Amino acid sequence: MKSKKPLKQLKLSVPAQETPITNFLTASGTFQDGDLLLNQKGLRLISEEKEARPSDAKEVDLQFSLEDLETIKVIGKGSGGVVQLVRHKWVGKLFALKVIQMNIQETIRKQIVQELKINQGSQCPHVVVCYHSFYHNGVISLVLEYMDCGSLADILKQVKIILEPYLAVVCKQVLKGLVYLHHERHVIHRDIKPSNLLVNHKGEVKITDFGVSAVASSMGQRDTFVGTYNYMSPERIRGNTYDYSSDIWSLGMVVLECAIGHFPYIPSEQEEGWLSFYELLETIVEQPPPSAPPDQFSPEFCSFISSCIQKDPRDRMSSLDLLGHPFIKKFEDKDVDLGILMDSLEPSVDSAR
Ligand code: ATP
Ligand code: MG
């Protein structure tokens, strides 16, 4: 067994606003962005701080070299690359390893490095932890917290719809993640969609992917490109300026899709592809927004959806205010256990993965 020095604990601080940064790839294959260094050995801050992250100090103490991880199986494919279930050879802990091809321009690299900073600096129980990242020969590898029930997209394939009490529990957790990103980190996620909301057997729901897949998909094929744009707010489609409320539109679309069992702009009986890519974008921009049918859903749920899906971003509620919405409050003391729902799904979800 090779003996390696454990990597030092990193504490990354993310600037509240994106700051102008100069970045470059050095001759040694290290990508530098300000005080951040990224190469095949991992991600380092030049000005390392010693303070440990209390929540997951144990994991961060692990040696993280790609040779320390053995592949168990492929668990997902995105437009930018593959996600594998991997096991740490020495301690047996499971992780999700996301591998992204990076044959891309400088500006896109810059965005990805920005994401890595956000990911590794995240300290929120509702944001997927990125334990480590590597950059080698045009490939970025992210060692992520493994979420063993997959994404909301995977779960929807099994259950078709999610009932209001469970949806309230899912929403509350996603909103806590968004409150953290919007109000503490001051970042817009930009790619809230079912495949970026991950669930584990404990019933925990966490947000993943800050820009990497969106950025990667912009250089990928058309069909994955479409997938990313389904949940995009009208102001973003128009190319206007946008803010945190753009994530709230996307959240509303995801929640409505979970409730009615199909993408809100496409009637259930229609085949996928009923709208062309451009027709869909035009519909989102030009037509009145979708809403929850009041004869099928509670007034609280209908109100929640219309608090998110408003074409004028100023009419949408903030993540913080939505946490106090009657739909979320309604089920708070009802002891709804998402973990039990996940347990009941496990065999079918697992076989789908
Ligand atoms: P796109 O690349 O178009 O944004 P995507 O979000 O599905 O699509 P990825 O982010 O690469 O693409 O993820 C692919 C799939 O891998 C997800 O749908 C999910 O099922 C699985 N996955 C991703 N990250 C994890 C994780 N940390 N734990 C468990 N499964 C994961
Ligand atoms: Mg994703």
- pLDDT tens for 29-41 read 666 676 677 777 6
Ligand 1 contact via 224 beta carbon (within 6 Å): yes
- pLDDT, mean of residues 276-293: 92
> Which ligand is located closest to the Cα atom of residue 140?
1
Q: Which residues neighbour ligand 2 (ion) by CB within 5 Å? A: 195-196, 209, 213
Query: With bands split at pLDDT 50, 70 and 90, how would you rate the model's confidence at 286?
Result: very high
pTM of the model: 0.81
What is residue 25's predicted lDDT score, i.e. its pLDDT? 56
- Give me the residues paired with residue 145 across strands: 95
CB 34 within 8 A of CB 21: yes
The torsion angle over the Cα atoms of residues 61, 66, 71 and 75, rounded to 10 degrees, is 80
What are the two backbone dihedrals, phi and then psi, of residue 347, each rounded to the nearest 5 degrees? Answer: -60, -45
Query: With bands split at pLDDT 50, 70 and 90, how would you rate the model's confidence at 276?
Result: confident
Ligand 1 contact via 146 beta carbon (within 6 Å): yes
CB 211 within 8 A of CB 204: no
Q: Helix crossing, 245-260 with 299-308: angle to 10°?
A: 140
Q: Does the pLDDT value for residue 13 go beyond 90?
A: no
- Whose CA is closest to atom 8 on ligand 1? 78
Phi-psi region of 316 (alpha: psi -120 to 50; beta: other; left: phi over 0): beta
What is residue 103's predicted lDDT score, i.e. its pLDDT? 66
- pLDDT, mean of residues 47-66: 52
What is residue 133's predicted lDDT score, i.e. its pLDDT? 84
What is residue 83's predicted lDDT score, i.e. its pLDDT? 95
Query: With bands split at pLDDT 50, 70 and 90, how would you rate the model's confidence at 21?
Result: very low
What is residue 62's predicted lDDT score, i.e. its pLDDT? 67
- The predicted-structure confidence for 142-186, as pLDDT tens digits, reads as follows 899 999 999 999 999 999 899 999 999 999 999 999 999 999 888
Ligand 1 contact via 80 beta carbon (within 6 Å): yes
- The predicted-structure confidence for 230-248, as pLDDT tens digits, reads as follows 899 999 999 888 899 999 9
CB atoms within 10 A of CB 183: 12
Most confident of 117-131, 255-269, 294-308, 328-342: 294-308
Longest dimension (CA), the chain: 64
What is residue 245's predicted lDDT score, i.e. its pLDDT? 96
Q: Does the pLDDT value for residue 12 go beyond 80?
A: no
Q: Does the pLDDT value for residue 44 go beyond 70?
A: no
Distance, CA 351 to ligand 1 centroid (Å)?
A: 16
Nearest-atom index, ligand 1, CA of 227: 3
- The predicted-structure confidence for 304-338, as pLDDT tens digits, reads as follows 999 999 999 999 999 999 999 999 999 988 888 88
Helix, strand, coil percentages for the chain (3-state, nearest 5): 40, 15, 45
Ligand 1 contact via 196 beta carbon (within 6 Å): yes
Which residues touch 19 (CB under 8 Å, ≥6 apart)? Answer: 34
Q: Of the candidates 35, 55, 39, which has an alpha carbon nearest to the alpha carbon of residue 7?
A: 39
Work out whether the CA dihedral 103, 151, 253, 306 comes out positive or negative: negative
The DSSP code sequence of 67-125 is GGEEEEEEEEE-SSEEEEEEEETTT--EEEEEEEE----HHHHHHHHHHHHHHHH---T
